[in-house]
Every structure is written in structure tokens, then in C-alpha cells.
Amino acid sequence: MAATLHDVARLAGVSIKTVSNVINDYPHIRPTTKERVEAAIAELGYTPNLTARSLRSGRTGSIALAVPDLALAYFAELAASVIAAAEASGLVVTIEQTGSGGRQRELDLLTSPRRKMSDGLIFSPLEMSQDDVAHLNVDYPLVLLGERIFEGPTDHLTMRNVEAARAATEYLIDSGRRRIAIVGAHEGELIGSAALRLQGYREALEAHGIPFDGRLIGPSIEWHRANGARSMREIIERGVAFDAVFALNDTLAFGAMRALQEAGLRVPDDVAVMGFDDIDEAQYSIPSLTTVDPGRAWIARTAVSTVIERIEGLDAPPRLLLADFEIVQRESAPAVAR
């Protein structure tokens, strides 16, 4: 059905290679020939078969992005930025969701034959751990996002979780809060965003001589809104006093605000709320959410440019790239408590 180089070549009365040369702007083509070929291309509505081109060139012109779940605003916004950045470099993005498939699903993803369908992978694992570091030894360009694995054999982009969480906590302390609850901790976790942010929290407390109180820690495996609300209710039901909440991400924070309201606690009057991620919604929630912008836009852009460098053959030791963060001040936690 679709026209091929052969069809165009026959119509234009030249060899297929000449047609190919016209398409690829090879310099030495007689203008009249070029014209004839272009006319034939237009007449047949020829477009190159990218699959064949891929086979020949070894490049697919696409990169894969693997995230846990696009329905999570953080990953959706990350994906939007990655797609935009890739497009600027002429690449398309296929998205894989690891969902609730767990560790095995993530490992399978790394070795799936589908990897051959893209030139590289930007991977944000959720379940893999340091023990799986060997699985990252793959023969295609791989850029790792997140905090599950360190010192791997690949380029790694991450945020300054400890420093950012510490800064967020100190912001709450500076605004006059002393009893700061946490929502979203993963119990027993050593690395991973939750553990690192928790560590930043503890460092901030310690630096200000505030004792750590385990009863202020609300655990939660997943980071959906519902989990934030549940975790917050748990803390409230313990009857322990608190005047601020640091939610380990924005989504949890929205759930937590919801639970606070149900309990008759006012934000920020009774309880200040700090999030983490600065998703779009944080600007428009009621109250709007004070949060940490962990440099998501930079991460997306850099992930794409980094994977492209590797695709183009850059041979350098694995790099660890850290995004800058910023506290975005909004209503849920004003700089100074009244």
C-alpha cells in the first residue's frame, strides 16, 4: 500500500539510492534530478519507513521512560517534561508503567526485548534496592532517576532529598513550629526518598535541639492522597500534640490536609503543612501548599540530554547529577506563625 523508495525511484526514473540521497540531502545531485524525485515523492505521498531505517541504522529515534504510575501527578508532570525535552531533540517517548508489579517487574523491564525498540531508557524505580545494582549493568544507555540505588554503573539523576527535607523542616521550625509530624514514612527503609527525607527531618530537629518523637511519625507504603489522609488520622488519633506536618510528598499533603479539616484542625492556624514536589496542584489547593520544588523540570531536561549523550556514544564514568531545590512558600505554611 504505502509507497517505498522503489516506487518513487521507478516513477522518477532513477535508482532507489538516488531517491535516498535526495531525502538525506546528499550534496551532489543535479537540480533537475532532484526536482523529478521530489515530484515523484509528492505524487506518491511517500514517507520513509522508519522501521527499516531503524534496522539499518541501529537507531530507533525513541527513548523509553519507565515510571511507577502516570496517574501520580509527580510522574505525569515529569513525563510531560521528558516528552517535551525529547521532542526538542527529535525523539519520541514510550512510557512504561511498573505499577504494582513490584521488584520483579522492574528487573524484567531492564531486560525486556522491548528495550531494543528504543535507544535508551530513563528509569525511575520504586522497588529495586541496592542489592539489585548488578542488574543495572545493561548494554544500552540507561539513566536512573530517584533514590533507590546509589553507586550504580549508570548515570544517576536525583534530588537533594536530605538537604531539601532538612531545609523544609527548618523552615517550619523557623516559623515557630516545634512539634512537627511526618506523613508518609516507610518503616525500616534505609535508602529511598522516604528514608532520606526522614533523615533530613531528623537532622533539622537535632540541629535545633528538638527531641525526636516516634509518635509523630505516620507511616504509609503508597503515596496516594488516601494514604496521606489515613496516615494523618492515625497520628491525630494517637492524641499527641503537633503544630505542623511535613508530608513527604504533595499528594500525601493534600490527603493530610483533608484529614486535618475533618478533625476540625485549621491549616495553617492550628497546623502548618509542608509538602514536597511542587506539583501544579499545589498552587491551587485550598489553602495553597507550601512545598519543596525539587528541580523536576531540570531533572527531566537533564535526563533526556544525558541519555542522548550516551546514545551518541559518550564514554565516561557513571555520573551522579544532583538537582537544586527550593522552598516554595504558600499559604499552608507561612514564613512566620501568628
Distance in angstroms (rounded) separating the CA atoms of residues 158 and 306 = 13
With CB cut-offs between 5 and 8 Å by kind, which of DNA, a copy of itself, none does residue 191 bind? none
Contact pick of 29, 34, 61, 213 for a copy of itself (by CB under 8 A): 61
Question: Which residues, including other chains, have CB under 8 Å from residue 98's CB and lie 6 or more apart?
Answer: 66, 67, 68, 69, 105, 106, 109, 125, 126, 127
Contact pick of 6, 215, 266, 319 for DNA (by CB under 7 A): 6
Distance in angstroms (rounded) separating the CA atoms of residues 287 and 115 = 43
Nearer to DNA, 24 or 151 (CB): 24
With CB cut-offs between 5 and 8 Å by kind, which of DNA, a copy of itself, none does residue 338 bind? none
Cα separations (Å) of 300 from 77, 110, 198?
A: 9, 20, 25
CA 238 to chain centroid, in Å, comes to 34
Distance in angstroms (rounded) separating the CA atoms of residues 276 and 197 = 9
From 31-39, 129-137, 166-174, 299-307, span contacting DNA (CB under 7 A): 31-39
Contact pick of 35, 43, 87, 269 for a copy of itself (by CB under 8 A): 87
Q: Does 54 bind a copy of itself (CB under 8 A)?
A: yes
Using CB under 7 A as the binding criterion, the count of chain residues that bind DNA stands at 30
Q: Does 42 bind DNA (CB under 7 A)?
A: no
Q: If DSSP codes are grouped into helix, strand and coil, which group holds residue 258?
A: helix
Cis, peptide link before residue 268, omega less than 30° from 0: yes
With CB cut-offs between 5 and 8 Å by kind, which of a copy of itself, DNA, none does residue 23 bind? DNA
DSSP single-letter state for residue 16: H
With CB cut-offs between 5 and 8 Å by kind, which of DNA, a copy of itself, none does residue 226 bind? a copy of itself
Question: Which residues, including other chains, have CB under 8 Å from residue 306's CB and lie 6 or more apart?
Answer: 143, 155, 157, 319, 321
Between strands 244-247 and 217-219, the pairing is unpaired
Neighbouring C-beta atoms of residue 134, cutoff 10 Å: 8
Contact pick of 255, 268, 294, 295 for a copy of itself (by CB under 8 A): 255
Grid coordinates given for 68: 511507577
| In contact, 159 and 168? CB cutoff 8 Å | no
Q: If DSSP codes are grouped into helix, strand and coil, which group holds residue 308?
A: helix
With CB cut-offs between 5 and 8 Å by kind, which of DNA, a copy of itself, none does residue 248 bind? none
| In contact, 228 and 255? CB cutoff 8 Å | yes
With CB cut-offs between 5 and 8 Å by kind, which of a copy of itself, DNA, none does residue 255 bind? a copy of itself
Contact pick of 16, 29, 44, 76 for a copy of itself (by CB under 8 A): 76
- Where does this chain bind a copy of itself (CB under 8 A)? 1-2, 47-52, 54-55, 60-62, 69-71, 73, 76-77, 79-80, 83-84, 87, 92-97, 99, 111, 113-114, 116-117, 139, 224-226, 229, 254-255, 257-258, 261, 280-281, 283-286, 288
- Where does this chain bind DNA (CB under 7 A)? 2, 4-6, 13-18, 20-21, 23-24, 26-30, 32-34, 46, 48-49, 52-53, 55-57
